[in-house]
Each structure stands twice: as structure tokens, then as C-alpha cells.
Chain A
Amino acid sequence: DAGVTQSPTHLIKTRGQQVTLRCSPKSGHDTVSWYQQALGQGPQFIFQYYEEEERQRGNFPDRFSGHQFPNYSSELNVNALLLGDSALYLCASSLAGPDTQYFGPGTRLTVL
């Protein structure tokens, strides 16, 4: 039974570029949440997707957007990258939203 998977593992971008991160949920899960973790901090909630709709959003600008596909996988898009967007981006999946969330290994994004 595959757990949550994320790709790529690492990514380097320059300021102003756009990036897309991908997440496949744990088998049987239908909800995907995204978190940003800056160095030395706890993860911060970005948004959650359920039934292909954004159902909850944290305090992140519109440069952060997402999508959920019919197979429940999800993408996180960040436009106009800033140096401060450098972080570990985590995806978590769960069943029907408020259930226990299980995290993937994360994507380390470095913005130069």
C-alpha cells in the first residue's frame, strides 16, 4: 500500500519563475492538504482540496494556487517566486477532510 508520494524531491528556481509541485495521496484517500515549512519552523497550512475544490485556505497570497484531479492527486503552483518561498513543501492526504492526515516526504524548493 503506497503512502503519500511527492515529486520532485528537490527543485532550484530563480526569483520570478513559476513552479509546480505534485502529490499523490495515500491509497483510498480523497483529500489533499499542502503545507509550507521554512527552516527551523513548524509547517504552515496553505490550503486543502476535496472533490477537486479548494475547501479551506490558510494565510497565503494568491500566488499560491492548487488543483486536484479526478484521481485525487494534486498540484501546488507558485507564481512569481520570491526568495522567501524557499522551504520544504509538504503534502498530506486524508479521508474526507477532517480525518487523520498522513504526510509525504516533501519537496525542497530553493529560490535563488
Chain B
Amino acid sequence: DAKTTQPTSMDCAEGRAANLPCNHSTISGNEYVYWYRQIHSQGPQYIIHGLKNNETNEMASLIITEDRKSSTLILPHATLRDTAVYYCIVKRGSQGNLIFGKGTKLSVKP
């Protein structure tokens, strides 16, 4: 079973920041937080990952709380093309497989 909890769905206005929360209260010290997204019927797209520090790349920012029990993915200026299902996944560094939950369906509206 997935070790994360995410809201089923969220809406965001185009041009505004989208903040997607994820709870992972049972995360272990050697487990990373990964985010992927999946646009309808395409393969999942890697977004970002982190261990305990906040991370930023060209797609998004990842904010991890100090106790590491939750995190937030931030899309700074959402566009219609960001409409997708977003998956938050907890994975050990030595673990091969990704365990996907149901994710959050983000709808960006004009």
C-alpha cells in the first residue's frame, strides 16, 4: 500500500500558484519524497524529489516540513497544461520500485 495520503482532487486558477499537499507521517529517515504527474493516458512524468531540504527545479518547488511528515509541491504559475494527476511517493534510496497511490487530480481552470 502507498505510504502517502493526498486529496482526491483540487482546482487552481490559471496563472496562480498550485499547492499540492501530501501526508507521509510514517516516513523513515532514509526515505525520499518523489513527485510525478500523469497527463491523461501518458506515462508518468518525473517532477522533483527530496530527502529533507527544500528543493526547486525548473518545473516546481518541493517544501518538506522539518519533521518530514508532510510535504507540499508548488507549481508557481499554473497553466492549463498542468492539468494532470499528481502522485506523491515515498521511496527508500535502495528500493527499486515506486508505490503509487491514487494521487491528486489537479484541474487548472481559465
Contact = CB atoms under 8 A, between A and B. Distances in A.
24 contacts: A33-B96, A42-B87, A42-B101, A43-B98, A43-B100, A44-B100, A45-B97, A45-B98, A48-B96, A55-B96, A56-B96, A58-B97, A88-B41, A92-B43, A97-B96, A98-B93, A100-B34, A101-B46, A102-B46, A103-B43, A104-B43, A105-B43, A106-B41, A106-B43
Contacts of A58: 97
B97 A100 contact: no
Interface of B: 2, 34, 36, 41-46, 49, 87, 91-103
A90 interface: yes
A103 B96 contact: no
Contacts of B97: 33, 45, 48, 56, 58
Nearest to A58: B97
Given A43-B44, A58-B97, 4 more contacts: A42-B87, A42-B102, A90-B44, A98-B94
Given A42-B101, A42-B102, A100-B49, A106 B96 contact: no
Nearest to B87: A42
B82 to A, nearest CB: 18
A61 to B, nearest CB: 17
Size band of the A side of the interface? 20 to 34
Contacts of A102: 46
Given A42-B87, A42-B103, A101 B43 contact: no
Contacts of B44: 43, 90, 92, 103
Contacts of A44: 100
A1 B35 CA distance: 23
Which 6 A/B pairs are nearest by Cβ-Cβ distance? A42-B100, A103-B43, A45-B97, A56-B96, A48-B96, A103-B44
